[in-house]
């Protein structure tokens, strides 16, 4: 490893230089009063930097050039004034720890899911109202903390592996309900330490001044809860509603299932966070099946549609060769969509790349649910050390049929849109 160029530190004291000279890849820049991310001080040595401490400065923006820090493993930015993360965060492929707590973040880009080596992601004390769906693609994440934000709903699946990732979401006062499957994995039959969850109280949140709300009636306990409608879906129906999902919704679901299927066949492990089946290693039989699946789609290696003059067979063969050559690579649905289905309109692509907000809670179904969701609510318990606490759970279904069969076993609550 190279010793850091002295020029970096021409603004600094002799002590700073020694620190950096001894541990060339670690930059201790806490409490310096920086108003800008001091990238320019690295003067071409960006690739040498492993850890950056920039806590308690006055930085309001992370520049997109941050992607030059190609070997950066830890970035500590707590206690600044940052309002957004650049999409280029996705290019920090070595990044293991990102602490950006105590800032003013309102939004985390979905591209964070491409920083595949993240193990610790600390987003406490910001102004986040929602979390990116693709967070759950971070397979080796060990710790995700989003305490003290303004979250209103939690994603149905916030982390990839509940058993290997600690997920903390305490003190988001607007959260009134958690997804049934999240409760099922995190809290069911498990004693929870006396966590200061600080949300989930079954009290009326009161303010329904603007926007659409859901009012849930708990006749047994004689109280009602009012929650803002979830932002992930376009149409929300009670499980009692007879209206079928739109054709557009049904085709998106179908297409997503086909994509996941294809992606699974190209991999020896599930590609999507939403895939449930581990498939066998790719072999020729799978590729032959894939050929059937792709029949009729205009695809080729370079994403150019030029197969209209009878070259389709040839192109498809090229495509399959390409697939076979690359079969050891890890594909995500995003790759599949971008690489092979470029003719799709962008708004559909985005939906398909990000994946559906939910899967049907009916475990025998698990259909993807995009815009058209049937909701139901029930109350279950969280076991604390010396007591049990009621918690309101929300469940999403693909159809009235699935909602009905789930409800037959659960004490579902009455609710209505107001």
Contacts with Zn ion, residue ranges (CB under 5 A): 360, 362, 365, 367, 398, 402
8 Å CB contact between 129 and 152: yes
**Nearer residue to Zn ion within complex by CB, 177 or 367:** 367
Provide, rounded to whole angstroms, the least separation between the CB of residue 404 and Zn ion: 10
Alpha-carbon span 4 to 37, nearest angstrom: 18
Alpha-carbon span 384 to 388, nearest angstrom: 6
Alpha-carbon span 39 to 104, nearest angstrom: 21
**Nearer residue to Zn ion within complex by CB, 323 or 369:** 369
**Nearer residue to Zn ion within complex by CB, 323 or 398:** 398
Alpha-carbon span 229 to 181, nearest angstrom: 19
8 Å CB contact between 395 and 413: no
**Nearer residue to Zn ion within complex by CB, 145 or 367:** 367
Burial of 323 (0-12, 13-18, 19+ CB in 10 A): buried
**Nearer residue to Zn ion within complex by CB, 72 or 402:** 402
Provide, rounded to whole angstroms, the least separation between the CB of residue 270 and Zn ion: 20
247-265 and 284-294 helices, crossing angle to 10°: 160
Provide, rounded to whole angstroms, the least separation between the CB of residue 360 and Zn ion: 3
Burial of 200 (0-12, 13-18, 19+ CB in 10 A): buried
Provide, rounded to whole angstroms, the least separation between the CB of residue 372 and Zn ion: 12
**Nearer residue to Zn ion within complex by CB, 239 or 333:** 239
Which are the contacts of 369, defined by CB distance < 8 A and separation ≥ 6?
A: 233, 253, 356, 357, 358, 359, 360, 396, 397, 398
**Nearer residue to Zn ion within complex by CB, 290 or 402:** 402
**Nearer residue to Zn ion within complex by CB, 300 or 362:** 362
- Angle formed at CA 370 by CA 368 and CA 371, multiple of 5 degrees: 150
Give the H/E segment covering residue 315: helix 312-325
Provide, rounded to whole angstroms, the least separation between the CB of residue 227 and Zn ion: 23
Provide, rounded to whole angstroms, the least separation between the CB of residue 219 and Zn ion: 27
Helices (H) and strands (E) in the chain, counts: 8, 16
């Amino acid at each position: 490893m190279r010793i850091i160029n002295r020029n970096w530190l021409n603004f600094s004291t002799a002590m700073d230089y020694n620190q950096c000279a001894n541990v060339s890849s670690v930059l201790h820049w806490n409490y310096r009063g920086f108003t800008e991310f001091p990238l320019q001080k690295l003067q071409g040595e960006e690739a040498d930097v492993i850890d950056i401490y920039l806590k308690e400065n006055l930085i309001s923006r992370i520049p997109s050039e941050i992607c030059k820090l190609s070997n950066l493993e830890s970035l500590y930015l707590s206690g600044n004034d940052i309002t957004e993360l650049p999409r280029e965060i996705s290019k920090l492929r070595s990044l293991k720890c990102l602490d950006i707590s105590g800032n003013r973040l309102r939004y985390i880009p979905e591209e964070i899911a491409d920083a595949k080596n993240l193990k610790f992601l600390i987003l406490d004390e910001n102004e986040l109202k929602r979390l990116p769906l693709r967070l759950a693609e971070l397979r080796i994440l060990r710790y995700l903390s989003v305490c003290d934000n303004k979250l209103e709903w939690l994603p149905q699946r916030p982390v990839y592996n509940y058993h290997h990732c600690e997920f903390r979401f305490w003190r988001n006062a607007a959260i009134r309900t958690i997804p049934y499957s999240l409760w099922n994995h995190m809290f069911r039959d498990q004693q929870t330490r006396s966590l200061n969850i600080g949300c989930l109280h079954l009290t009326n949140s009161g303010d329904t001044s603007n926007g659409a709300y859901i009012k849930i009636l708990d006749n047994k306990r004689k109280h009602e809860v009012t929650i803002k409608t979830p932002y992930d879906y376009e149409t929300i129906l009670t499980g009692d509603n007879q209206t079928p999902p739109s054709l557009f919704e049904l085709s998106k679901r179908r297409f997503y299932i086909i994509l996941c299927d294809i992606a699974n066949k190209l991999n020896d492990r599930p590609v999507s966070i939403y895939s449930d089946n581990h498939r066998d290693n790719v072999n020729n039989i799978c590729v032959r099946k894939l050929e059937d699946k792709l029949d009729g789609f205009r695809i080729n290696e370079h994403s150019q549609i030029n197969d209209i003059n009878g070259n389709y067979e040839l192109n498809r063969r090229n495509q399959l060769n390409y697939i076979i050559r690359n079969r050891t690579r890890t594909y995500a649905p995003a790759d599949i969509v971008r690489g092979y289905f470029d003719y799709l309109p962008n708004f559909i692509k985005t939906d398909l790349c990000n994946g559906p907000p939910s899967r049907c809670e009916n475990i025998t179904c698990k259909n993807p649910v995009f815009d058209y969701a049937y909701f139901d609510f029930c109350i279950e318990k969280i076991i604390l050390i010396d007591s049990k606490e009621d918690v309101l759970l929300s469940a999403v279904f693909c159809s009235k049929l699935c909602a009905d069969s789930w409800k037959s076993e659960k004490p579902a609550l009455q609710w209505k849109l107001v």
